[in-house]
Amino acid sequence: MSPSSSVTRTIRIERDVDEFLRKFGDREGVSVNLLVNKAIRRLVEWDIYAEKFGLVALPTSLIERLMDYLTDQEATELGRWVGENLIPEFITFWFKEVSLQAMVVGFPRLQSRYGRAFEYEEHVEGGKWTIIFKHGAGSKWSLYYEALLKTAFRDLLKTDLLIDKTDDQVVARFLLK
């Protein structure tokens, strides 16, 4: 079944939840069906695994404040540690194998969509890949993401990449043979 095909299913929704969905949908100009599908997709793509993996939700301001306490060197080292340890665990847990597809497409798309740590874009042309992490959180976060990406690509995919970064964005470019 392709991702765009659908099935019809009847479900029961508690009255107060239905009322909230209707009001929210009206306010946002979207259907209740869209909201329910979005919630179910988040459940199957993220929530089920996130709980088992031990992810917790924290306010962005707290995470940014914690990063402020790190030196540039500590932010870089944290990125290396995440690239060596958490990324392989995350990819294996979610996708059951460490592969280019999971590393380049699965991980950042899910982290961007549900973890909301950054906005993610990718461009592929003739074997040349460009991935963009737009985070808007400052230079230490760029150092962190740079180290994470370099470590994960070198260790997991045996691929070198070139990184361009600003205070608010990291752009990684690499070739696939």
Per-residue pLDDT tens for 103-160?
776 778 778 888 788 899 989 898 898 999 999 899 999 999 999 999 988 887 888 8
- Sorted by sequence, the CB contacts under 8 Å of residue 109 that are 6+ apart come out as 120
What one-letter code names the amino acid at 72?
D
- Sorted by sequence, the CB contacts under 8 Å of residue 30 that are 6+ apart come out as none
Least confident of 7-16, 96-105, 140-149: 96-105
Work out the mean pLDDT of the chain and round it to a whole number: 88
- Sorted by sequence, the CB contacts under 8 Å of residue 49 that are 6+ apart come out as 93, 94
HSE, side-chain direction, 13 A CA sphere, residue 122: 14
HSE, side-chain direction, 13 A CA sphere, residue 147: 18
pTM reported for the whole predicted model = 0.78
What ranges do the domains of the chain cover? 15-53, 60-175
Q: What is the pLDDT of residue 156?
A: 79
